[in-house]
Amino acid sequence: MPIVEANGIEIMCEPIGNPADPAFIMINGLGGQLIGSSGFVFDEDLCRRIAAAGFYVIRFDNRDVGLSTKFDGAAVPDLMETLARAEAGKPVAAPYTIADMADDAAALLTALGIEKAHVCGASMGGMIAQTLALRHPSRVWRLISMMSSSGDPDLPPGTPEARRALFEPVPVEREANVRHTLRAAQAISGTGFPFDAQRVRRQAERAYDRCFYPMGVARHFMAVLAQGSRRSALRRIKVPTLVIHGGDDPLLPPAHGRDTADAIGHAAFVVIDGMGHDLPPAAWPLLSDHITSFLRCAMRPGADG
């Protein structure tokens, strides 16, 4: 896996597939490492399914997590205080923004010699992907926003259990941290697909050993809150767009996905019944079918972009 210099930082990335195929960059959610560590991270096997369908898949560690550049000198926020400030409509200052993270993705493409790519993001990654399409439209062929949101403050909140899982203090000790990750992953999962506790445990252990860095996750959350609503801006997105959302998402209810699609205007909206705020292996065949079918439309003669 190469580390590349992009947008003034170092980004750890992992290309999968044939570089001659159309590029497809996959942007992880809050605190997610490219190896997997949470429900909103693109698992290697899912990426390989999409690569096998004829796409050059690129996944990477966002700034401040995994093996990408850490912002050690930046402030570590009090999450509950920051959330309360945002929910009261007060401005939130952040060490960096979702726009900065979108610029990271664009610069990563440049560093890899890729002019234009399909872009997919999950959860916070969907917010980054939307912002990438707004800030760098010439770099985006097609856009997929998964289990994400427009950021509209009037949208329904997640369940108390799901919100608690997101905001609970993170244990430092390894086994306690793994158990915490298991509880959180189950709290945001849906009821329509099996919850594979052993797989989640393995991911949590591997992620902890690779890079335990909760300060970066907290700063990711600040970046999300600082950006606020993208709803009015989303109408400027002109690239073909697919919005995918779990019908059983307890963290960002399906209304968040519907609102994103409605704000963009021309976006297709797909609900995966029984899927929560996660990407369970049993849903991969359905997800990869939706993704690859949408992307292949761009490869047909006369297609958009």
Q: Is residue 282 included in any domain, yes or no? A: yes
- Tell me the CA distances in angstroms from 167 to 170, 197, 215, 283, one per residue in order: 8, 21, 13, 26
Q: Is residue 113 included in any domain, yes or no? A: yes
Looking at residue 186, what DSSP letter applies? Answer: H
Domain with 205 in it: 3-297
Indicate if the alpha-carbon torsion angle 212, 145, 286, 251 is positive or negative: positive
Beta bridge partners, 117, equal: 140
Q: Is 178 helix (H, G, I), strand (E, B) or coil?
A: helix
pTM value? 0.95
Please report, as a single letter, which amino acid is at residue 117: A
Q: Is residue 305 included in any domain, yes or no? A: no
- Position 191 scores a pLDDT of 94
Mean pLDDT of the chain: 93
CATH of the domain at 203: 3.40.50.1820
**Which two three-digit tokens encode residue 292?**
């690859």
Which residue bears the tokens 């062929």? 141
Q: Is residue 303 included in any domain, yes or no? A: no
**Which two three-digit tokens encode residue 30?**
């809050």
Q: Is residue 169 included in any domain, yes or no? A: yes
H helices of 228-267, where? Answer: 231-234, 254-264
Looking at residue 121, what DSSP letter applies? Answer: E
End-to-end distance of the chain based on CA atoms, in angstroms? 30
What dihedral angle (degrees, nearest 10) is formed by the CA atoms of 26, 278, 146, 48? Answer: 30
Q: Is residue 231 included in any domain, yes or no? A: yes
Question: Per residue in 110-162, pLDDT tens?
Answer: 999 999 999 999 999 999 999 999 999 999 999 999 999 999 999 999 999 99
- Position 216 scores a pLDDT of 95
Rg from Cα positions in the chain: 18
The overall longest dimension of the chain from CA atoms, in Å, is 55
Q: Is residue 302 included in any domain, yes or no? A: no
Quote the CA–CA distance of 145 and 27 in Å, as a whole number.
10
- Position 301 scores a pLDDT of 46
**Which two three-digit tokens encode residue 127?**
């917010």
- Position 304 scores a pLDDT of 57
Question: Per residue in 40-98, pLDDT tens?
Answer: 789 999 999 999 999 999 999 999 999 999 999 898 878 888 888 888 888 888 999 99
* Total of domains in the chain: 1
Quote the CA–CA distance of 100 and 105 in Å, as a whole number.
9
Is residue 99 a contact partner of residue 131, using CB atoms and an 8 Å limit? yes
In a 13 Å sphere around the CA of 257, the CA atoms on its Cβ side amount to 28
**Which two three-digit tokens encode residue 252?**
């960002």
Calculate the CA 90 to chain-centre distance: 25
Higher pLDDT, residue 40 or 18: 18
Q: Is residue 222 included in any domain, yes or no? A: yes
**Which two three-digit tokens encode residue 139?**
């770099």
